[in-house]
Amino acid sequence: MVSVSSIKNNLSKLKLYAVPVNGHEVKVFDKIPLKNAKIKDLFMRVEHEGGEHFNIILESPNIAGAIGKEQISINPPYDRVWGSLTEVVEKFRSSKSPKGKIKGARLGEAMRLGTIIETLENGMKAMDIYAMPQAVFFHAKYGFVPKITSYKADLIKTLENIASRKNPKLRVCSQRAKTVIEKVKKQKSGMCVSDSIANETSKIAKDYIDTVIKEKLPFKRYTFKKDIDMVLTREAIIKNKKFYNALFERHGIDYRI
Q: Are residues 199 and 244 in the same domain?
A: no
- Domain count of the fold of the chain: 2
* Model confidence, pTM: 0.88
Q: Are residues 123 and 19 in the same domain?
A: yes
Regarding beta strands 126-131 and 2-4, do their DSSP bridges make them parallel or antiparallel, or are they unpaired? unpaired
Contact call for residues 237 and 244 (beta carbons, < 8 A): yes
Q: Are residues 122 and 156 in the same domain?
A: no
Q: Is 32 part of any domain? A: yes
Average pLDDT, the chain: 90
Q: How confident is the model at residue 103 (pLDDT cuts 50, 70, 90)?
A: confident
The CATH number of residue 46's host domain is: 3.40.630
Residue 122, classed as helix, strand or coil, is coil
Q: Is 255 part of any domain? A: no
Structural domain containing residue 215: 152-226
- The residues near 202 (Cβ < 8 Å, ≥ 6 apart) are 145, 146, 147, 148
End-to-end CA distance of the chain: 25
pLDDT at 100: 53
Q: Are residues 188 and 70 in the same domain?
A: no
**Single-letter amino acid, residue 91:** K
pLDDT at 1: 52
CA distance 30 to 16: 6
Contact call for residues 40 and 60 (beta carbons, < 8 A): yes
Mean pLDDT of 104-117: 92
Q: Are residues 118 and 32 in the same domain?
A: yes
Q: Are residues 7 and 44 in the same domain?
A: yes
